[in-house]
Amino acid sequence: MTSSGETEQVVSRPRMDRSKLVFRYGVTLVIIIGAVWSFTSLDISVERLRTAPGDIWGILRLTVPPDMEGDFVSRVFGKVLESVYIAWVGTMIAALISLPLAFMGAENTAPRWLQLPIRQLFNVIRSFPELILAVLLLPITGLGAWTGTLAIGLHSVGTLGKLSTEAIESIDSGPAEAAQAAGGNRIEAIRWGVLPQVLPTIVAYWLFRFEINVRASAVMGVIGAGGVGSELINQLNFRQFDKAGTVLLFTILVVLFIDTSSAAVRRRIILGGG
């Protein structure tokens, strides 16, 4: 118990800064206005939202059971593998290009006059989706898987370059400084002081990007840039929903297998298990 002479201390709740409060409510208001504006601009009615699940279910019912005829399954599986090949080669192209560019764009490994143009290059590349790049490449490379591979590879350079640059900038500078103190130049400091720290994280980014590129490559066939998308579009156009179900089934199974395997490998790399 406290004596009558003692005064009780009242801990008041700290008041939020007025400017922060205005900023928070302002951002929330902008998000709400943007969402309502977008919703109304798309001419989406409540009736369409109400009937959409039933329409989707009606189409999905037509894909079951899928057509498992031997020759057709072999053709579909080949197209799915083509999508995987496009994603893999595209990711490797992006990895080889983005790694040196990332060191040129990081604050702790490159001069400022070089950082800014490299960072802006990443931003410009990321502003073009894979499909737009594929459309731009079609007159040059023609129809086929090579167009999709280049489009995915170029787009991935922007994403992997940005992620790799941020990883490089977050390293411990001690090993690089020690390498330079021992007489090493900038390249040697990067080779022995920076690269061993960031390589596991960057490889994990490569694998994660490969997962994304597998899904992106499946869409490339829509515009004739290779992959399983062309097969799916053909079957839907001819109302062969059972065959379309086969395409969807194999695509989903392969994507799930790749995602699960890649996640396990990435986890092992990041945790230092190999």
**Residue 232: pLDDT over 80:** yes
Please state, in angstroms and rounded to a whole number, the distance separating the CA atoms of residues 68 and 132: 34
Share of the chain above pLDDT 90, in %: 22
12: number of Cβ within 10 Å: 5
**Res 11: pLDDT:** 54
pLDDT band at 15 (very low <50, low <70, confident <90, very high): low
Q: Which CATH class is domain 67-270?
A: mainly alpha
Chain mean pLDDT for the chain: 83
Q: What is the mean pLDDT of residues 146-155?
A: 92
**Residue 179: pLDDT over 60:** yes
Please state, in angstroms and rounded to a whole number, the distance separating the CA atoms of residues 241 and 247: 10
Q: Considering the entire predicted model, what is its pTM?
A: 0.78
pLDDT tens digit sequence for 118-150: 999 999 999 988 889 988 988 888 888 899 999
DSSP code per residue over 140-177 = HH-SSHHHHHHHHHHHHHHHHHHHHHHHHHTS-SHHHH
**Residue 188: pLDDT over 90:** no
The closest alpha carbon to 73, from 247, 256, 270, belongs to 247
User: Which position has the higher pLDDT, 152 or 36?
Assistant: 152
Q: What is the mean pLDDT of residues 84-106?
A: 93
**Res 273: pLDDT:** 53
pLDDT band at 98 (very low <50, low <70, confident <90, very high): very high
Residue 110 CB partners (closer than 8 Å, separation 6+)? 103, 104, 118
**Residue 230: pLDDT over 80:** yes
**Residue 248: pLDDT over 80:** yes
pLDDT band at 157 (very low <50, low <70, confident <90, very high): very high
